[in-house]
């Protein structure tokens, strides 16, 4: 049985969010939505503001302007309800390499108030899902980077969130491991109806049927299906569309500065 959320509510809704570090503007009036069951690619170069956006969604930083809602729950006003529906795979390693896979997952279960017996069941299920069931007792430090990523995903899914955020999840992976992870997460959104926000700077990670958000220097330049974004920009493919969009934005900025 799946946890039911009203179908029309977006899994994630970011509404006119801005953020600055001192004088430097990191996000400018960002609005976007991740629908339930959708695979949304947040495309941006390094420094585009992806990590800042993730820090705001996960409540590491306070939202000073705008609103972020997870299944309708405002992150600032109802953090508990919002965060319990959210699973995150951070760009930096979040697993403890000295202890076993299972011990890491037990710790995560405790952080969601899940008791031992139930946690054991859930751990068995998530490890099965990422095809790592036989590695449960292995020390995390003995796994390959690709396997660690899979465990990170299992960890993020353990408390059965309906929204999954991944920040550059394929960094450091070889081509095969990259394809495996991408495939696996895409299946999660298709088959299990989880809303996925996949942040990356690798344009080829966006598939034909995905939603895509182009984030550049803190602003959303385009938001829609891959087809829509290509069509609107007049590009030949997504890479071309991305280049055109960012060039236009950079030129506009130059002219404004003159």
Partner 1 sequence: MTAIGEPIAREGFSLTQYLICLKGIVWREALRFIHQRERFVSALVRPLVWLFIFAAGFRQVLGVSIIPPYETYVLYEVYIAPGLVAMIQLFNGMQSSLTMVYDRETGGMRTLLVSPFPRWWLLTSKLLAGTLVSVLQAYVFLLIAWFWDIEAPAIGYLALFPALLLSGFMLGALGMLISSLIKQLENFAGVMNFVIFPMFFASSALYPLWRVKESSPLLYYVCELNPFTHATELIRFALYGQVNWISLAVVLGCTAVFLFGAILAYDPARGFLARRNTPAGG
Binding site for partner 1 (CB under 8 A): 1-3, 21-22, 24, 26, 51-52, 54-55, 58-62, 64, 76, 79-86, 88, 90-96, 98-99, 103, 106-115, 118, 121-122, 125-126, 129, 155, 159-160, 167, 191-193
**Minimum CB–partner distance for residue 29 and partner 1 (Å):** 18
**Minimum CB–partner distance for residue 246 and partner 1 (Å):** 20
Q: Cβ closer to partner 1: 60 or 145?
A: 60
**Minimum CB–partner distance for residue 236 and partner 1 (Å):** 34
**Minimum CB–partner distance for residue 26 and partner 1 (Å):** 7
**Minimum CB–partner distance for residue 174 and partner 1 (Å):** 21
Q: Cβ closer to partner 1: 113 or 255?
A: 113
| DSSP letter string, the chain | -PPP--TTS-SEEEEEEEEEETTEEEEEEEEEEE-TT-EEEEE--TTSSHHHHHHHHTTSS---EEEEEETTEETTT-HHHHHHTEEEE-SS--S-TTSBHHHHHHHHHHHTT--HHHHHHHHHHHHHHTT-GGGTTSBGGGS-HHHHHHHHHHHHHTT--SEEEEESTTTT--HHHHHHHHHHHHHHHHHH--EEEEEES-GGGS-TT-EEEEEETTEEEEEEEHHHHHHHHT-SSHHHHHHHHHHHHHHHHHHHH-
Q: Cβ closer to partner 1: 96 or 253?
A: 96
Q: Cβ closer to partner 1: 10 or 161?
A: 161
Q: Cβ closer to partner 1: 123 or 230?
A: 123
């Amino acid at each position: 049985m799946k946890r039911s959320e009203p179908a029309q509510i977006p899994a994630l809704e970011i509404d006119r969010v801005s953020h600055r570090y001192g004088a430097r503007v990191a996000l400018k009036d960002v609005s976007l939505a991740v629908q339930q069951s959708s695979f949304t690619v947040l495309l941006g170069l390094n420094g585009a503001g992806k990590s800042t956006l993730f820090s705001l969604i996960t409540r590491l930083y306070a939202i000073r302007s705008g609103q972020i809602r997870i299944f309708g729950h405002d992150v600032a006003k109802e953090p508990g309800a919002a965060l319990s529906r959210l699973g995150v795979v951070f760009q930096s390693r979040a697993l403890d390499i000295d202890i076993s896979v299972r011990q890491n997952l037990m710790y995560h279960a405790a952080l969601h108030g899940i008791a031992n017996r139930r946690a054991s069941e859930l751990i068995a299920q998530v490890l099965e899902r990422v095809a790592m069931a036989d590695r449960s007792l292995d020390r995390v430090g003995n796994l390959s980077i690709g396997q660690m990523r899979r465990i990170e995903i299992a960890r993020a899914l353990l408390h059965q969130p309906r929204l999954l955020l991944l920040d550059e999840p394929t960094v450091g992976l070889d081509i095969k491991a990259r394809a495996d992870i991408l495939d696996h997460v895409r299946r999660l959104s298709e088959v299990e109806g989880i809303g996925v926000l996949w942040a990356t700077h690798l344009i080829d990670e966006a598939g034909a049927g995905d939603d895509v958000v182009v984030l550049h220097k803190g602003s959303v330049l385009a938001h829609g299906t891959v087809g829509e974004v290509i069509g609107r920009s007049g590009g030949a493919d997504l890479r071309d569309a991305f280049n055109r969009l960012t060039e236009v934005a950079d030129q506009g900025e130059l002219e404004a500065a003159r």
